[in-house]
Structures are given as structure tokens and as C-alpha cells.
Amino acid sequence: MMSTATSKYKVLFTPILINQLKLENRLVMSPTHDGLADEEGFVTSEAINFYLKRAMGGLSMIVIGAVDVNPRRSPHAMLSDDRFIPGWKELVGRIHSESGAKVCTQLIHARKMARNWIQDTDDLPSEEINKIIAYFEAGAVRSQEAGFDAIEIHAAHGYTLSSFLSLRNKREDEYGGSIDGRMKIIAEIYQKTRAAVGTSYPVGIRINGDEFIVGGNSLQQTRIIARKLAEMGFDYISVSAGGKYEDSPAFHPKFGSPWPYPSSGGYSGYRAMPPAHMPEAVNVYLAADLRKTVRQAGYSTPIITAGRIPHPRIAETIISGEQADLIGLSRPLLRDPNWVIKAKEGREKEITRCTYCNECMDRLIQDEPGLCVYLNE
């Protein structure tokens, strides 16, 4: 039954600008690899329905998770070739015409996973680096052509760009060593991409606030990284955590060891998708710290936080406490596509709560769509 009550969450439902893109509220869908692309990586009608349902649920923006810029055999949806553009055009067009949500694509470069799943950059030949930069540039141009309102560069978790950023990057050429060296590939991707898409097109980035692995980045490094990303001109910084595989103990029959995912992974994996036993809002302090760092350096770059934020009351506290500018939600939206509209209309008691069981992740591991096991769709 529709209620006429208005939201008590006033700050959550105020607009914000990302570059010149106006978002109507502070709640965005955090990038969520959905497993709904077909075998070649094309957008399917299932993917369109999945995102449309969530867009109609009141989000201000959906960030489509992990879209590959480089051609490879992958479970992800692809933007590595022009032939993928029409599918995305249809998805973005439907969301624009049937909801008020904006759509962003998270561009990812992933290498063929090594047997141990660790995406070490140390063995990557220098010639390959120019190729990676060109893949991101082309992916950004295709995103713009497909009608996406924004792009996000994936430099978090266990993939190529985060491996460059990491303190564990032991390259001896100019793409390793100091923080400037470890950030060089991202600086070059940013310059090329910005030149290609123009100054007013929103270009965000996702990083780890802390890698939660021995010898990896902690806030000590990521404060400098965040300040430099703001200085470069990124239009938002999305702060995630962990998702590295180095501490993952489990074995997988098909892929060997260590198996990376949080359900059977190490502590770093758990921090990326904090399960039920972790505290609520466990990673927010990282976003708050980096936001403060960036503000003190004189930049107003919006900061997104995510991770086990189950209730609009907590989201409101984070925004009103100036710990972040936007809240990213992933698993709560898998469980309840109408989370946002229920909060807005004062019907938060009707939100079906995610149990943070991470079965969605387990489904992905089994090569099934990463949908909620408790929701039939």
C-alpha cells in the first residue's frame, strides 16, 4: 500500500552535482557485476530488466559493474568493441526514458587471471601499458557514444589498475616505485580519456581506502593517492576496501588456490563485501578520512562510500556527518530494488533487509547471475 508520508531523511534526498551532472539524491547503485551478459559479453534483456527495476526504485544513479575494456574471455559484460554499443544504448535509453536515474559504466581492465588469481603487475611488459591506456580511452569513448551519463575507472580490489597503485607493485620502470610512479598509468589514462570525452563529461574513479593485505596500501598511501586524483581532475572518488586475493586461503577445484571470493576468501575479500558478522558501515571511516584529506587540499570532489549500509538512517547519518557525499548500495538493492523509494516515502519499515549472507557472490562463482537467493527474479 502506498503511504503519503514524506521522508524524514532530508539530507539523503538533496541533489548533488558530479561535474555538470545533476543527481537527484545521494543514493547510487554501487558497481555490481551481475553475471547477466551473454557468453560473448553482450547486454541481455535480463540485464535490462534487472537495472530498470532498480532505476525505477528511486536511485539517482546506477553504476554498472565491471565492464571490460580489453577483449578477453570473461564473465563480464564488454565494451571492448563497437559491436557492443547498441546493447548498451538500449539499456541506457530504457533507463532514461522509464526512470529518473542516471547511468554510469565502471570500466575495468583485467588480465587473464593467473593460476593464483593475483593480478601482479610486476611481469607486465612496458609495451602492454600503452595498450591498456588505449583500451580505457576507447572504452570511455564507446561509453559516451552509448549514452552513459558518466564513466568510472575501476582501480579498486584485485584488478590491473589497483595492482599498479599498490605498495606491492615492485616494478623497476617508471610505472612502479614512488606513488607518482605507481599512479602514472592512471594519470595517463585520465589525460587520454579526458581529452577524448571532453571537460564536462563526468569521469570518476574507484579505489581502495585500504587494501587490507600485508605490504599493501593503507590510509597512509591512499590519502596521497586521493589528493592526487582530485588534483588530476577526477569528478568523484568512490572509496572501497580490500578485495585483494593475497590472503585468501581456500582452494577451488577448478581454479586452484587461493580462491579469491569473500565467501571462502581472506580478510581482504571480506572487507570488500562485508558479511553479516562485520559491523555496519565498517568501511565508512576510510571514505571520511579521504574526504577530509581532499577537502583540506582544497578540492570539492564528491566522495562515495559503500559497505554494509543496511538502513537509510545510517546512510543519512553518514551524509549529514559529512563522512561522504554519496552512498553506494549493492547487496541491499539485490534484495530489495525499491529500497530507495521506500526510504523516500517514509516506508523504510517495508524495506526487505539484506542478510549479508554473500550467497549472491557464491552464485557468481558458480557462473550463475549474482542475484539474491531470496528474491525471485
Ligand X SMILES: Cc1cc2nc3c(=O)[nH]c(=O)nc-3n(C[C@H](O)[C@H](O)[C@H](O)COP(=O)(O)O)c2cc1C
Nearer of residues 28 and 138 to ligand X, judged by Cβ: 28
C-alpha to C-alpha distance for 63 and 61, rounded to whole angstroms: 6
Q: Which three cell numbers stand for residue 339?
A: 529500497
Query: For the chain, where are the alpha helices, taking DSSP H only?
Result: 45-55, 85-98, 126-146, 160-165, 179-197, 219-232, 267-272, 284-296, 312-320, 331-335, 339-344, 359-365
What is the smallest separation between the CB atom of 174 and ligand X, expressed in angstroms? 27
Q: Please name the helix (run of DSSP H) or strand (run of DSSP E) that holds residue 206, with its range, or none.
A: strand 203-208
Q: Which residues ranging from 227 to 266 are in contact with ligand X (CB under 6 A)?
A: 240
C-alpha to C-alpha distance for 192 and 350, rounded to whole angstroms: 46
Secondary structure letter of residue 279 according to DSSP? P
Binder to ligand X among 330, 335, 339, 342 (CB under 6 A)?
Answer: 330
Q: Which residues ranging from 151 to 190 are in contact with ligand X (CB under 6 A)?
A: 154, 156
Nearer of residues 171 and 342 to ligand X, judged by Cβ: 342
Binder to ligand X among 290, 364, 365, 372 (CB under 6 A)?
Answer: 364
Residue 361 interacts with ligand X (CB under 6 A): yes or no: yes
Nearer of residues 32 and 80 to ligand X, judged by Cβ: 32
Question: Which of 159, 236, 245, 261 is the catalytic position?
Answer: 159
Binder to ligand X among 28, 31, 135, 142 (CB under 6 A)?
Answer: 31
Binder to ligand X among 291, 308, 342, 344 (CB under 6 A)?
Answer: 308
- Verify whether residue 190 is a known catalytic residue: no
Binding span for ligand X by CB under 6 A among 16-24, 27-35, 181-189, 247-255: 27-35
**Residue whose Cβ sits closest to ligand X:** 65
Residue 307 interacts with ligand X (CB under 6 A): yes or no: yes
C-alpha to C-alpha distance for 65 and 83, rounded to whole angstroms: 19
Of residues 317, 270, 334, the one with CA closest to residue 11? 317
CA distances 300 to 96, 118, 242, 294, 342, Å, are 27, 34, 25, 7, 30
Q: Which residues are catalytic?
A: 159
Residues that bind ligand X (CB under 6 A): 30-33, 65-66, 106, 154, 156, 206, 240, 272-273, 306-308, 328-332, 360-361, 364, 370
